[in-house]
């Protein structure tokens, strides 16, 4: 007889440690020998952390079994992933075998690398799910968002219910409920979550319900005919780009987006969707650049405070104070105004280049919310702002470079489209990126004719450097 072994892959803040504590407490109170340990990754919220749990499946042993702090090859009976890429990480490390059942959440928490990538840099989770299915004895997926919808239940409590419902551990539901109660922390919501997970497994309810494919927002139906003019395989991402730009500005701005894409499509004169798809995703992101107005828009979205309450597991009865930190510099203030009057912003004190004014804005209050609402109301005037005009000028230079490259080589044109990654960040980082683009494109046509291969290498170097060092100036 050997111990039952379980590995939990979670991110900081998901409650993986609490989950293992519940199991250890329930097991020991039931008369089993059990042990839990953790191996921290990045010691911060959303940093990857693994937790290891062993339980000897015989009660009231006189001698204490020898436990380990980490699994060996073929040891794992159960792998629990609070985020699907954590299961993929376990496969890479050889922990998941044909003896292992994998219980994985379908909900994604995007990594920093995914977030800083231009356009849609998110990992395609489909190959990860496929690898888990091939490597494991059995895969069970839980849609934690769907299961917890309309409740205050936390994901780790739902997962605990699913673990017990799987029957892999010899613990009863009542033993685990007693463990939750004994901790005396958010007892009501944790018990509710436990019962949700238990029911989901036993009834096969909301299991495998999430589509792991990337989710795109659909544009309004009045854009259908315009989208149909482009290659079919690019329709989805173009539709998403339109939806994004309507939210950012208005339908007129989305039409401007389509006009730009049409020019690329006409110049390329190809039915291949590859270039159009690349330009579509990078262009939509760039045209929805973040400025002070956009930040204010996002901070005043309906339901933001409700989402914060849900993430922190705070009921409506408990007062919530939210304070957002801003540090706008002189360039941010100037960027909001038309060029003709932007010079009015003084270049003194904390507004000097590279510095800003530290603002702690209580957005949970009427005053703070009102201030942000005032800033977001400047959206109709965005097209007259200094930053808008500067961004659009560089976008046009970039699009012209793509068009020229498409006439030489479509792969090079796609590389050129990916250079949009340089147009990211804020303040000096963004300014430096835009200057690099302008400098690179100043002799673009001549280099396309004289040194196409050398130009391709240089473009790749710029992209790789931007990915490896996002804050580089």
Q: Are residues 56 and 156 in the same domain?
A: yes
Angstrom distance (rounded) from CA 54 to CA 2: 10
181-209 pLDDT, tens digit each: 998 888 998 999 999 998 888 776 544 43
Q: Region 450-457: what's the mean pLDDT?
A: 88
Q: Region 281-295: what's the mean pLDDT?
A: 89
Q: Are residues 164 and 140 in the same domain?
A: yes
8-59 pLDDT, tens digit each: 988 877 888 899 999 999 999 999 999 998 877 654 555 678 899 999 988 8
Q: Are residues 297 and 377 in the same domain?
A: yes
| Bridging pattern class, strands 101-105 and 138-142 | parallel
Three-state DSSP at 220 gives coil
| Domain limit, last residue, from 158, 176, 203 | 203
- Determine the Cα angle at 334 with ends 332 and 338, to 5°: 130
111 assigned to some structural domain: yes
Q: Are residues 185 and 242 in the same domain?
A: no
Which helix (DSSP H) or strand (DSSP E) does residue 410 occupy? helix 410-418
Q: Are residues 114 and 131 in the same domain?
A: yes
Three-state DSSP at 414 gives helix
Q: Are residues 114 and 257 in the same domain?
A: no
Q: Are residues 136 and 56 in the same domain?
A: yes
Q: Region 209-224: what's the mean pLDDT?
A: 66
Looking at the 3D structure of the chain, how many domains does it have?
Answer: 4
The CA-to-CA distance between both ends of the chain, in Å, stands at 59
Q: Are residues 312 and 433 in the same domain?
A: no
Does pLDDT of 394 surpass 90?
yes
Q: Tell me, what's the pLDDT at 209?
A: 38
Three-state DSSP at 317 gives coil
Q: Are residues 40 and 178 in the same domain?
A: yes
Residue of 433, 444, 432 whose CA lies nearest to 397: 444
The mean pLDDT value of the chain amounts to 82
Q: Are residues 375 and 468 in the same domain?
A: no
Q: Tell me, what's the pLDDT at 320?
A: 79
401 assigned to some structural domain: no
394 assigned to some structural domain: no
Angstrom distance (rounded) from CA 178 to CA 459: 60
Q: Tell me, what's the pLDDT at 252?
A: 96
| Domain limit, last residue, from 366, 383, 400 | 383
Three-state DSSP at 207 gives strand
Range of the domain at 167: 4-203
CA distances from 283 to 37, 95, 208, 235, 379 (A): 47, 41, 34, 15, 20
315-360 pLDDT, tens digit each: 777 887 888 877 666 667 666 777 777 666 655 555 555 455 666 7
Higher pLDDT, 172 or 410: 172
Three-state DSSP at 95 gives coil
């Amino acid at each position: 007889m050997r111990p039952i072994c379980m590995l939990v892959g979670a991110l900081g803040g998901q409650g993986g440690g609490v989950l293992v504590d519940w199991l250890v407490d329930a097991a020991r109170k039931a008369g089993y020998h059990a042990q839990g340990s953790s191996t921290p990754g990045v010691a911060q919220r959303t940093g990857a952390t693994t937790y290891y749990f062993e339980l000897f499946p015989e009660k009231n042993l006189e001698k204490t079994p020898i436990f380990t702090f980490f699994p060996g090859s073929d040891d794992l009976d159960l792998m629990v992933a609070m985020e699907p890429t954590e299961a993929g990480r376990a496969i890479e490390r050889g922990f998941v075998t044909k003896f292992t059942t994998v219980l994985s959440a379908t909900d994604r928490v995007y990594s920093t690398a995914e977030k800083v990538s231009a356009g849609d840099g998110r990992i395609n989770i489909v190959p990860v799910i496929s690898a888990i299915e091939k490597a494991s004895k059995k895969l069970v997926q839980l849609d934690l968002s769907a299961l917890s919808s309309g409740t205050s239940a936390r994901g780790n409590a739902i997962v605990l219910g699913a673990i017990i419902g799987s029957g892999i551990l010899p613990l009863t539901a009542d033993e685990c409920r007693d463990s939750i109660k004994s901790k005396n922390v958010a007892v009501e919501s944790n018990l509710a979550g436990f019962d949700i997970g238990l029911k989901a497994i036993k009834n096969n309810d909301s299991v495998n319900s999430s589509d792991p494919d990337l989710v795109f927002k659909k544009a309004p139906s009045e854009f259908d005919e315009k989208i149909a003019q482009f290659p079919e395989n690019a329709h989805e991402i173009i539709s998403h780009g339109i939806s994004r730009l309507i939210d950012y500005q208005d339908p007129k701005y989305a039409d401007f987006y389509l006009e730009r894409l049409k020019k690329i499509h006409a110049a390329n004169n190809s039915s291949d969707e590859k270039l159009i798809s690349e330009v579509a995703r990078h262009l939509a992101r760039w045209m929805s650049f973040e400025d002070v107005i956009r930040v204010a828009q996002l901070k005043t979205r309906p339901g933001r405070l409700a989402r914060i309450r849900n993430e922190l597991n705070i009921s409506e009865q408990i007062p919530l104070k939210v304070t957002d930190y801003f540090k706008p510099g002189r360039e941010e203030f100037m960027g909001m105004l038309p060029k003709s009057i932007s010079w009015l912003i003084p270049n003194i004190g904390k507004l000097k280049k590279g510095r800003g004014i530290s603002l702690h804005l209580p957005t949970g209050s009427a005053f703070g919310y009102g201030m942000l609402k005032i800033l977001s109301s400047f959206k109709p005037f965005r097209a007259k702002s200094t930053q808008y005009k500067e961004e659009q000028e560089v976008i046009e230079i970039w699009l012209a470079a793509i068009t020229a490259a498409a006439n030489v080589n479509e792969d090079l044109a796609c590389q050129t489209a990916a250079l949009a990654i340089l147009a990211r960040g804020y303040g000096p980082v963004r300014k430096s990126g835009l200057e690099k683009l302008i400098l690179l494109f100043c002799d673009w046509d001549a280099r396309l004719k004289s040194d196409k291969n050398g130009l391709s290498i240089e473009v790749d170097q710029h992209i790789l450097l931007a990915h490896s060092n996002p804050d580089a100036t």
